[in-house]
Amino acid sequence: MRGALLALLLLLAAAPASAGGLISLGGPVTEIVVALGEEERLVAVDSTSRHPARLAELPDVGYVRALSAEAILSLAPDLVLATPEAGPPAVLSQLESAGVAVVRVPNEPTPDGLGDKIRVVAEALGREAEGRVLAERLGRDLAQLRRALGEAEEAPRVLFLLSISRGATLAAGQGTTVAAMIELAGGRNAAAAMEGYKPLNPEAAVEMDPEVVLVTPQTLEALGGAEALFARPELVGSSAARAGRLLTLDAQLLIGFGPRTGAALRQMAAVLHPELPLPAEE
């Protein structure tokens, strides 16, 4: 272990003196960095940092949950911003032992949590004033949307499905960011009796009787498209299948809880509550 740590320290020491900069780990954190005007400081991002598209030109240090200390240290950053999902934890500890400042950014999927996330990133970047402006603007935007959705007479039941490779199709229960997004968009989580992500069986789905099915484009493709999706035993007799109510949303937009959260909620609310006029994004 000591040998590995020594090797990491030597790797950092061997980096060019002119190197240094910011590495952002986690799509929503990276979007905040860009929104604060600090994109030029980025020397690398992780594979979930896909917006804006020009970030693809930067080095990619890998998946946020499966990082390598060597890959990160080879870029000689002086600051790493990391979501709670970033890891393994030992990698972040190795970065700190090598003298890299690692700021762990909170990720509570609530309007207040979004403000806290922005403030932490802004403070780490020395952009406190810009952070306050961004947090206040997004807070006002979400508050306006919440007031508009308060006029809805009822909240439709929404079922989020996730297909991972060839594994079982999962539903999002309580304690997930998706569940929080569904509620903020004026819906009810049809899988609220579950905790976390669990495989969906036909019997449970029949009891849920979702009125809207929510998926990512990747899941929709993996399940064979809308027609095949609604023909599945779990959904064929559901209210959503009978009405053909399907909502497709980019995964990072749906679960990121960053500067684009208002846009994501508007897309969802427009499907869940087509009868309501929604305020324009601020």
As a CATH number, domain 2-105 is: 3.40.50.1980
The pLDDT value given to residue 227: 96
Domains 2-105 and 157-272 share a fold: yes
Rg (CA), the chain: 21
Torsion of CA 103, 101, 16, 41, to 10 degrees: 30
Residue where the block lists tokens 């208002």: 262
The answer to whether the CB of 233 falls within 8 A of the CB of 265 is no
More confident residue, 121 or 15: 121
Residue where the block lists tokens 């949590």: 113
The answer to whether the CB of 233 falls within 8 A of the CB of 201 is no
Rounded to whole angstroms, how far apart are CA atoms 182 and 255?
11
The residue type at 134: L
Q: Where does the pLDDT of residue 168 fall: very low under 50, low under 70, confident under 90, or very high at 90 and above?
A: confident
Predicted confidence (pLDDT) at residue 2 exceeds the cutoff of 90:
no
Locate 278 and state its tokens. 């929604």
Residue where the block lists tokens 């990160």: 72
3-class DSSP state of 267: helix
Rounded to whole angstroms, how far apart are CA atoms 158 and 243?
13
| Phi-psi category of residue 224: left, alpha or beta, with phi > 0 → left and psi -120 to 50 → alpha | left
Global pTM reads 0.88
The pLDDT value given to residue 9: 46
Mean pLDDT, to the nearest integer, of 98-105? 97
Q: Where does the pLDDT of residue 272 fall: very low under 50, low under 70, confident under 90, or very high at 90 and above?
A: very high
More confident residue, 14 or 262: 262
Sequence-distant (≥ 6) Cβ neighbours of residue 263 within 8 angstroms:
253, 281
Domain boundaries, the chain: 2-105, 157-272
Rounded to whole angstroms, how far apart are CA atoms 58 and 202?
44
When mean pLDDT is compared across 6-15, 184-193, 223-232, the lowest value belongs to: 6-15
**Concatenated DSSP letters of 85-147:** T---HHHHHHHHHTT-EEEEPP--SSHHHHHHHHHHHHHHHT-HHHHHHHHHHHHHHHHHHHH
For domain 157-272, is the CATH number 3.40.50.2000? no
Mean pLDDT, to the nearest integer, of 152-157? 96
| Helix (H), strand (E) at residue 216 | none
Angle, CA of 68, 94 and 115, to the nearest 5°? 85
pLDDT tens per residue across span 245-268: 999 999 999 998 999 999 999 999
Predicted confidence (pLDDT) at residue 48 exceeds the cutoff of 70:
yes
pLDDT tens per residue across span 187-200: 999 999 999 999 98
What's the start-to-end Cα distance of the chain, in Å?
Answer: 51
The pLDDT value given to residue 164: 74
pLDDT tens per residue across span 77-88: 999 999 999 999
| Helix (H), strand (E) at residue 276 | none
Rounded to whole angstroms, how far apart are CA atoms 19 and 77?
7
Predicted confidence (pLDDT) at residue 161 exceeds the cutoff of 50:
yes
Q: Residue 14, Cα to own-chain centre: how many angstroms?
A: 35
DSSP-derived letter for residue 39 is G
Q: Where does the pLDDT of residue 165 fall: very low under 50, low under 70, confident under 90, or very high at 90 and above?
A: low
